A = this chain, B = another copy of it.
Amino acid sequence: MFGRQMKKTPSGIVPIIRIDRRAREPLHRQIYNAFRTGIVERALRPNERVPSTRTLAAELGISRIPVLNAYAQLLAEGYFESRVGAGTLISSMLPDQVPSPARPSSSSVATTGGSRTISRDCESFPSMQNVLPWLGGRRGAFSIGQPALDQFPIKIWSRLVVRQCRNQRFASMHYSDPMGSRDLRVAIASYLRTARGVRCEPEQVMIVSGSQQAVEITTRVLLDRGSRVWMEEPGYRFARNVFALNGCKIVAVPVDDEGLNVAVGIERCRHARAALVTPSHQYPLGVTMSASRRLQLLEWSYASGSWIIEDDYDSEFRYESQPIASLQGLDRCSRVVYIGTFSKVLFPSLRLGYLVIPPDLLDRFLAVRVTLDIGPATFFQSVLADFMQEGHFSRHIRRMRLLYRDRRSALLHSIRQDLGVPVEVKGEEAGLHLSLTLHRGFRDRELAERALKERLWLAPLSGSYQEQPAPQGFILGFSNTSAAEIPGAIRKLRSILRSH
């Protein structure tokens, strides 16, 4: 307990103490009063370390004697305490004579005076409190977007981290290229050309913190407030949030077994400024966009002068059919902005992803990027460039594909064998999740809440639809759920569906 407390407070910070040499009050009294007031008003908190008398005297530019006197008194009165090995600290047991805070503590500062107007877009924006548990980590079987972290080659990664640390130059601690490090951009461009059929040069690659930031930057460059944008229906809610926060008008375009239904999109809004699509493995249904739909979509974009945002978030994992090249690779007019992320292939807390930008828009993307956050941190870009160059990246993808294929097969088998409730399964050919549509009468949100108590993390399918009432079902992630765990989890799901 004591150890934990200690671990949490920075030590040796010099507090703000105003010394007045001309005051009648002696120096030691001024120092005593400053600490006492800080403690009473809770600017200084129990177990925080106090600077040494030598340090404080030097900082205040006075002799050490008044500091020693003040510290002695504060110790004697119980405001400070000494602990072996830890030095002097604000006491964890404050003396009785300490009054309750005279001024309100910082947490109770008034927030009432005057109107508190915030931006309209932000005011009407949904709360994110409900995503916090999911962001907090695995909570049960079938969590989505969670790679098998226990299979990550952490030893190899750590070795590269340590090596990078040893080789670190001062230059790499400075601000750096806001587009990202050259080595990583070269490695990504080469990977995308080879494995994804993306047509790109390293100059077109911008390193970002993940696909979320990629969508945000793209939106800021391409879309105005009020611009209309096609979103897949159902579609990725977090991307829809970006458009909403930027005041864009979302046109819901249905997805069928061939992916986005381009004809319906044209019918609903021919002159949309952009379309966001997930052609390799539609989120959430999981279907792959057919070749004819891809060509239709490109034709539409050329004819209407629209942009296509291709989010290729988990295309590394295809299980049965042969690999399918990116939509970007088919584009002959640089209409596609291509987005990828390392969150699914490596690990989410790395916060690295990338954009492939049409050459004529590079300067605009750069301007927006610098304005939003200056640029990406350098260290892990170098580690990742090494990881890719030395072949660990491709090896890891191949290993994970085998593992996820097994888990996927176990899930499909168990749904057929153990679920005992008729459902429609889609999207199992690729990626880290499949979708399961329930027949009428089920309410996926209610079921998901009940399932959570039994450690099943079922993402309700209806939440991915904009138009209501929506089909009911679940998005089941299988990448972070072991094959052994799956049958039991499906039987739990069965009893939840049965008790409905």
Known: A173-B347, A302-B113. A10 touches B388 (CB 8 A): yes
Known: A135-B175, A173-B149. A128 touches B209 (CB 8 A): no
Give the residues in chain B near A15, CB-CB below 8 Å.
Answer: 194-195
Q: From A197, which residue of chain B is reached at the shortest CB distance?
A: B16
Give the residues in chain B near A132, CB-CB below 8 Å.
Answer: 177-178
Pair B190/A48 contact, Cβ less than 8 Å? yes
A162 at the interface (CB under 8 A from B): yes
Give the residues in chain B near A116, CB-CB below 8 Å.
Answer: 305, 360-361
What's the nearest-Cβ distance from chain B to residue A105, in Å? 8
Task: Please measure, in the bound complex, the distance between the C-alpha atom of A14 and the C-alpha atom of B195, giving whole angstroms.
Answer: 6
Known: A49-B391, A122-B368, A349-B173. A375 touches B135 (CB 8 A): yes
Known: A55-B398, A349-B378, A374-B135. A16 touches B195 (CB 8 A): yes
What's the nearest-Cβ distance from chain B to residue A347, in Å? 4
Task: Please measure, in the bound complex, the distance between the C-alpha atom of A42 and the C-alpha atom of B240, giving whole angstroms.
Answer: 36
Give the residues in chain B near A303, CB-CB below 8 Å.
Answer: 114
What 0/1 pattern do residues 181 to 208 of A give for CB contact below 8 A with B? 0010011001101111111110110000
Please count how many residues in chain A sit with their CB below 8 Å of the partner chain's CB atoms: 155
A150 at the interface (CB under 8 A from B): yes
Pair B10/A191 contact, Cβ less than 8 Å? yes
Q: From A219, which residue of chain B is reached at the shortest CB distance?
A: B119
What 0/1 pattern do residues 379 to 401 of A give for CB contact below 8 A with B? 11000000011110111001000
Known: A106-B200, A366-B128. A183 touches B8 (CB 8 A): yes
Pair A45/B122 contact, Cβ less than 8 Å? no
> Which of A43, A241, A333, A391 has its CB near the most chain B CB atoms (within 10 A)?
A43
Q: From A198, which residue of chain B is reached at the shortest CB distance?
A: B106
Q: From A48, which residue of chain B is reached at the shortest CB distance?
A: B190
What's the nearest-Cβ distance from chain B to residue A99, in Å? 18
Known: A13-B394, A16-B196, A45-B193. A122 touches B360 (CB 8 A): no
Pair A389/B51 contact, Cβ less than 8 Å? no
List CB contacts (< 8 Å) of A111-167 with chain B. 111-123, 125-129, 131-132, 134-138, 146, 149-150, 152, 154, 158, 161-162, 165-166
Pair B377/A111 contact, Cβ less than 8 Å? no
Q: What are 20 contact pairs spanning A and B, CB under 8 A?
A: A8-B186, A10-B393, A10-B394, A18-B322, A48-B190, A106-B198, A114-B303, A114-B333, A118-B222, A119-B222, A119-B227, A128-B367, A136-B175, A136-B176, A137-B176, A150-B170, A158-B166, A173-B347, A220-B245, A373-B373
Top 7 closest A-B pairs, CB basis? A106-B199, A10-B388, A114-B305, A173-B347, A351-B377, A115-B305, A113-B333
Known: A175-B349, A351-B377. 15 other contacts (CB 8 A): A6-B389, A106-B204, A109-B199, A110-B334, A113-B332, A117-B305, A125-B367, A125-B368, A135-B370, A137-B175, A149-B174, A158-B165, A162-B162, A209-B209, A349-B377
